[in-house]
Amino acid sequence: MSDAMQPPMPPAPRPPYPPYPQRPPQNGLGIAGMVLGIVSLVTCWIGLVPAILAIVFGRIGMVRADRGEASNKGMATAGFIMGIVGVGVWVLFIVLVIVLAIVGDDSPHRGYYRY
């Protein structure tokens, strides 16, 4: 056989496609939950809002970490737990204020001032 009778060479194989880019982990809600949990514990007299937000953000961060979308499950869990403790501390603070307001000052000289 001569060179003119040979079939043409097949084309070279294509290089493989590049891999899909990986999404960076979405750690924002776990971090926000932890920060708000710390705020709710340190400043329990501000109100219930930071504690509730810590619970919500911490739980969402935990779910994202379970699905593999985030890499900070520990921070999200810490924020969730600190938010629950913050709600408890806030409730105890309110109960203490109410008890002190009810017990109050029962002295017989209430409203009487000596100069």
For the chain, what are the domain ranges?
A: 25-99
Q: How far apart are CA 1 and CA 56, in angstroms?
A: 78
Kindly list the distances between the CA atom of residue 77 and the CA atoms of 29, 48, 81, 103, 107, in Å, as whole numbers in the listed order: 11, 19, 6, 39, 49
49-80 pLDDT per residue, tens = 999 999 999 999 999 999 989 999 999 999 99
Residue 33 three-state SS: helix
Q: How far apart are CA 33 and CA 35, in angstroms?
A: 6
Average pLDDT, the chain: 86
